[in-house]
Homo-oligomer: A and B are copies of this chain.
Amino acid sequence: MASSTVEDYLKTLYAVHQSTGGTSNVPIGRLASAMGVVPGTATSMMKALADAGLVEYESRAGVRLSPRGEQLALHVLRRHRLVELFLVSALGLDWSVVHEEADRLEHAISDRVLERIDAALGHPTVDPHGDPIPTSKGKLYEPEWVSLAVCETGVKQHVTRVLNQNIDFLRFVEREGLRPGAVVTVQGRDDAADTSTIVVHGRKPTSLSMAVAAQILVSTADPATTAPA
């Protein structure tokens, strides 16, 4: 059994790998800062995980998950995202807080309980932030959504996913009415000002920095009416 700590390293490694394009190895320093530990700690942990066959690691060449490590990471991710959705849907918690709750619960949920939760929720495909939920077989379908920073302008878009899961960011998204499901149009972009001007359905126009806009993914098709994968 992998410890909570090991599960956290694998999950983080997966996330960092994804967020950087998913092509090359993850530098130890990036992993260390994502984990909130000093680099030396990450180095020795990666050696241990390499011995356990969960990562592939070569000194000074960064790390990547092994196939087994990736499966484990996806299992943790499945637990995390199903728990998040359950906390919102079944217990009515605020979506801005469930991320941190799930960070603790994801290590304590057995498969038995997890599959009950999955069934109770009707085998959902995305969590409250729009993050896709890996299947019990460890497959993850990542929809090809684009962000408000690059999508077509002047066209109605449906918010599908919010990448940044910081509590304050989520509260901001909430206030602006940009939760998944919301309808929004990008009026235009100002490269010099580094902003996008958007109109959330029924609201006045606002502008977002490109960095913020890049955190909000959208789709022209309404995913609520699209058959899930």
Which A163-213 residues have a C-beta within 8 angstroms of B? none
How many of chain A's residues have a CB under 8 angstroms from any CB in B? Answer: 18
Smallest CB gap from A107: residue in B: B108
Copies held by the complex: 2
- B112 near A93: Cβ-Cβ < 8 Å: yes
Which A74-100 residues have a C-beta within 8 angstroms of B? 87, 90-93, 97
Bound: A105/B107 CA distance, A: 9
Bound: A84/B214 CA distance, A: 42
A221 interfacial by beta-carbon distance below 8 Å: no
Smallest CB gap from A93: residue in B: B116
Shortest distance in angstroms between A121's beta carbon and chain B's nearest beta carbon? 11
A48 interfacial by beta-carbon distance below 8 Å: no
Contacts of A120 in B (CB 8 A): 90-91
Bound: A185/B98 CA distance, A: 48
A109 interfacial by beta-carbon distance below 8 Å: yes
Contacts of A91 in B (CB 8 A): 113, 116-117, 120
Bound: A117/B91 CA distance, A: 7
A101 interfacial by beta-carbon distance below 8 Å: yes
- A87 near B104: Cβ-Cβ < 8 Å: no
Contacts of A117 in B (CB 8 A): 91
A110 interfacial by beta-carbon distance below 8 Å: yes
Some 23 contacts from A to B, beta carbons below 8 A apart, are: A87-B113, A90-B90, A90-B120, A91-B113, A91-B116, A91-B117, A91-B120, A92-B116, A93-B112, A93-B113, A93-B116, A97-B112, A101-B110, A101-B112, A101-B113, A104-B108, A104-B110, A105-B105, A105-B108, A105-B109, A105-B113, A107-B108, A108-B108
Identify the 5 closest CB pairs spanning chains A and B, nearest first: A108-B108, A91-B116, A104-B108, A105-B108, A101-B113
Residues of chain A having any CB pair with chain B under 8 Å: 87, 90-93, 97, 101, 104-105, 107-110, 112-113, 116-117, 120
In the complex, besides A93-B113, A105-B113, 12 extra interface pairs with C-beta distance below 8 angstroms are A87-B113, A90-B120, A91-B117, A92-B116, A93-B112, A93-B116, A101-B110, A101-B112, A104-B108, A104-B110, A105-B108, A105-B109
